[in-house]
Structure formats: C-alpha cells, structure tokens
Amino acid sequence: MSDGTKADDIALALEEAIVSGEIPPGSTLRQEHLSEQFDVSRTPVREALRRLAALGLVSFEPNRGVRVRMLSRDEIREAFMVRAELESLATEIAALKMTDDDLAELERAERRFSVATQALVEMSHDGRQDLEVARDWLHLNHSFHDVIYRAADVPLIERMAKAARRTFLVKPVWATGADLDELYLKNDRQHRAIRDAIVARSPEGARVLAREHVLSSGRLLEAILDKVSAQLREPAVR
C-alpha cells in the first residue's frame, strides 16, 4: 500500500477501476465483496465509497447499496463543457507563466502524443483492435494537458477539471474507423496549435484554441459512443 490510510488507497484503486471501465457503470458494489478483495474490513471500504460518492462516481441508495453511476448523454456533454471552460482558463494562465523548462516538457508531451496518435490510426487501418494502444493514447492525451496545469499552477482549477474528466468512462467506449481517424488526427493537430499559441505567448489565442479543442474532444467521444451503441444494436445475439 502506497500511502497513509487504507480508505484512501481503496478509494484510489476503485476510482481507477471505475474510470477505466473495469467495473462497469450501473453495477452495484457489495461492501463485503470489496472488503475481502482488498483484504480489509468493511469500515475502510465504506469510507472509500463515501469519498467516491462525494466525487459523483457512485451513488448511495440507503440500505440498498452503492451503484456505479451511469452518465447520461446530457451529463457527458455537460462534463465536456465544464472541461472546456476550465481547461481554456488554465491554458490562458499557463501561457502567461510558462518557463522554458515547461515549454520543453510540453514539447515532449506533444511529441509522444503525436506518436501515439499515429500508432492508433495505423492500427485502425490494419483493422486491429488493441485496447492497450487506445489506453496509451488517452493517457498521453491527458499528460499533455497535465503539463499545462502544472505550469499554470492552479490547483483548484486543476482539481475540478480533473473531476469533470473522470466523469466519463473509457474502456467500454472505444472504437476505431476511418471516420474516427480524422477526429483523432484533428485532436493531435489541435495540441500542436495550442503549443504554438503558448510558444507565441498568446494567452487569448491559447484560450480559444483550448476551448475549441476540448469541445471537439467531446464531439469525438460522442461519435465513438454512437458507433459503439450502433455496434451493440447490430449483432442481434439471442
């Protein structure tokens, strides 16, 4: 166990499991099951669940259990609007504060993301479906923005934006395809544009680009969701 209290460790682990989709949305979490899974008593498990509930990841139904929240399309849209506002704000601030070291870091993050995007698109062309590649892509995507947050030094904004980032799930919603490839590539181009605006010390430009970027990511996710739900309807099992 990494740090201090078990409740925190469990909360972190559960958060990861929920966000990654390992625990599917809508499922109910049995306290006893979790307690033996983590090899602790139910007490710290309950505390961890309270924390997740406060973050909005799960919901307590008194005397009936906790359920992993399932977000509606509207809520996902809202989450992206929140992110758009907060990330654009952070980017504007970062553009004013960036040191040369930060810029170098941003450059590296952008390049790694670019490589991941290429890998993703190539995979799509080959018709393969590697979840690990997709996960890497998302992770490096976040890393790019994290560099910006670090440079902006706005812990509260960062905390809230990441809370919004967490509100949607990844693993069950993934797809590739020619139509999506264009959106992935666009995402990459937007990162470069943001980097350029920051390099050019243009806070307003960076802000507008960041805002548009997040909103466009939201549209990408919606496109993925559409595709997935279409696939789910298509093969009429049973």
Residues at the interface with DNA (CB under 7 A): 5-7, 28-32, 40-44, 46-47, 60, 62-66
Nearer to its own copies by C-beta: 76 or 116?
76
Q: Which residue in 40, 115, 123, 163 binds its own copies (CB under 8 A)?
A: 163
Question: In whole angstroms, what is the distance from residue 16 CA to residue 23 CA?
Answer: 9
Q: How far is the CB of 89 from its own copies (least distance, A)?
A: 6
Q: Which residues, 185 to 224, sit near its own copies by CB under 8 A?
A: none
| Pair 13, 35: CB distance under 8 Å | no
Distances (CA, A) of 198 to 47, 93, 141, 189, 208: 42, 10, 17, 14, 12
Strand partners, 33: none
Binding segment for its own copies (CB under 8 A), chosen from 30-38, 80-88, 119-127, 221-229, is 80-88
Site of tokens 């595709």: 227
Q: Which does 29 bind (CB under 5 to 8 A by kind): its own copies, DNA, none?
A: DNA
Q: Which does 164 bind (CB under 5 to 8 A by kind): its own copies, DNA, none?
A: its own copies
Q: Is 86 in the site for its own copies (CB under 8 A)?
A: yes
Question: In whole angstroms, what is the distance from residue 176 CA to residue 216 CA?
Answer: 17
Q: Which does 119 bind (CB under 5 to 8 A by kind): DNA, its own copies, none?
A: none
Q: Please count the other Cβ atoms lying within 10 Å of the Cβ belonging to residue 50.
A: 15
